Each structure stands twice: as C-alpha cells, then as structure tokens.
Amino acid sequence: MKKKYLLLAVSMLVLAGCATPAHQAQPALFKDVSQQEVQQDNAYCMMQAQQINTADYAYRGTFMEGANIKMKQHEQMRLCLLSKGYH
C-alpha cells in the first residue's frame, strides 16, 4: 500500500515540475493577431490561472497540495488560451 502512495507522490512531483502556468501562446493558423494582442491574451490567461489557490479536497493539508494547485493552474491556463483561439 505504501508503494502505491510513493509511486503516486513521485509521479505527481514529476508532473508538477512540468505544470507551470507559463505558456508560450501561439495563434491558430486562421487567427491573424499582433504580438501585442498575443501578450495581452497571455497576460489575461495568466491572471486567471493565478487566481486558483485552493487544492482539491483530497490534497489539502498534504505535501502534494502545492503540486495539485500548480496542475490546476496549468490546466486553467491551457483552457483559457484554447478558448481564445491559441494552440
């Protein structure tokens, strides 16, 4: 049982290392936007992602709380950029 939790913890830490909300927004092929618009959209999505500061219930009070928050921020950033037409 402990091995299962250890494996879960290690995999979450590896994922958390990749889960930074800093994305490089690339406009979709059909979208013609200026660099300023890309920066504004990126800043808006970054602001939206940084507002997430609560871990899922299962991770609250554990050492994985921070990793869970980072993963949620990463997903919010990705979804926000997708909704604005970036890939």
What are the residues facing 86 on neighbouring strands? 27
4 vs 21 pLDDT, higher one? 4
What is the predicted pLDDT for the residue at 32? 76
Query: Does residue 21 surpass a pLDDT of 80?
Result: no
Q: How many residues does the chain have?
A: 87
Domain boundaries, the chain: 2-83
Tell me if residue 86 falls in helix, strand or coil: strand
pTM of the model: 0.65
CA-based Rg of the chain, rounded to a whole angstrom?
16
Query: Does residue 15 surpass a pLDDT of 60?
Result: no
Model confidence over 25-72: pLDDT tens digits?
666 655 678 889 999 999 999 999 999 999 999 999 999 999 999 999
Neighbours of 16 (CB within 10 A): 17
